Amino acid sequence: MKAMFLSAMMLVMTACASGGGYYANNDSGYYGERARCQTCGRVTHIESYYQGERSSGGGAVAGAIIGGVLGNQVGKGNGRKAATVAGAIAGGIAGNEIEKNAREGVRYEIHVAMDNGRTVVLHKRDLNGVYEGARVSVSGERIRRI
């Protein structure tokens, strides 16, 4: 009787022991009630830097085409030709500036110590509420606070 009572108590004590871990959830749902999150970590360091890139020329080409098409809608004869050329030039300049503005600016290098021991470094244009010390989930190039 005493041995059965001790066995039952050991079973109850073992059942109460916890394996630890985090309540983890990602876009596809829960990993398990008390499973370790494989995509979770803590932001250890954030560094900001300015990225100034040259344009590839694609914006200028697209702008010139659009400007030329719009310019071609104006006038008749030689006036239409002049408007087409002027539209292509103005569109090319505008397209180049738009592309440069889209490529340059402040960027962030976010260092994340993952729960599985890896370190991940992400390069982002916006922090989206992420800060040093924050618990985050990393999926590919996406990072979000949890």
Give residue 60's pLDDT.
Answer: 75
Q: How many domains does the chain have?
A: 2
d(CA 138, CA 38): 9
Examine the domain organization and report whether 115 and 140 are in the same domain. yes
Compare 120 and 36 and report the one with higher pLDDT.
Answer: 120
Two structure tokens written together for 10: 């050991």
Instruction: Judge whether 67 lies within some domain.
Output: yes
Q: Please give the residue that has the higher pLDDT: either 105 or 12.
A: 105
Q: Does 111 share its domain with 135?
A: yes
CATH of the domain at 41: 2.40.50
Q: What is the pLDDT of residues 25-84, one digit of tens each?
A: 444 444 443 457 889 999 999 998 877 666 677 777 887 788 778 878 877 888 888 878
pLDDT, one tens digit per residue, over 9-22 is 554 444 444 444 44
User: Are both 109 and 48 inside the same structural domain?
Assistant: yes
